[in-house]
Amino acid sequence: MKIKVVIHEAEEGGYWAEVPAIPGCATQGDSFEELLQNLYEAVEGCLSVDIPPLKKSTERVVEIVI
C-alpha cells in the first residue's frame, strides 16, 4: 500500500507529519528517522481503529500539476 504523507518542520525543532487520507492521523519526531518510525506506528494504529463512516460532502479534493 502506498500512502501520501505531508511532512512539516516543527518551529521548536524536529518534524511533524499528517496523513491526509486518514483524518486525524498525525505524529511527530525529534529527527527525520524517528518521524518515519512513528509514522508507520501511527498509520497502523489509525487503520486498526473502527471509525464511523464520514458524512458525504460536496467538497472535492483534486491534484493538479502546474
Contacts (Cβ under 8 Å, ≥6 apart) of 10 = 16, 28
At residue 56, the pLDDT reads 72
CATH class of 1-66: alpha beta
At residue 54, the pLDDT reads 64
* Domain chopping of the chain, boundaries: 1-66
At residue 53, the pLDDT reads 67
Across the chain, which has 66 residues, the per-10-residue mean pLDDT values are 91 94 93 95 90 69 74
Please state, in angstroms and rounded to a whole number, the distance separating the CA atoms of residues 37 and 42: 9
Q: Is 37 in a helix, a strand, or coil?
A: helix
Total-model pTM: 0.69
At residue 49, the pLDDT reads 80
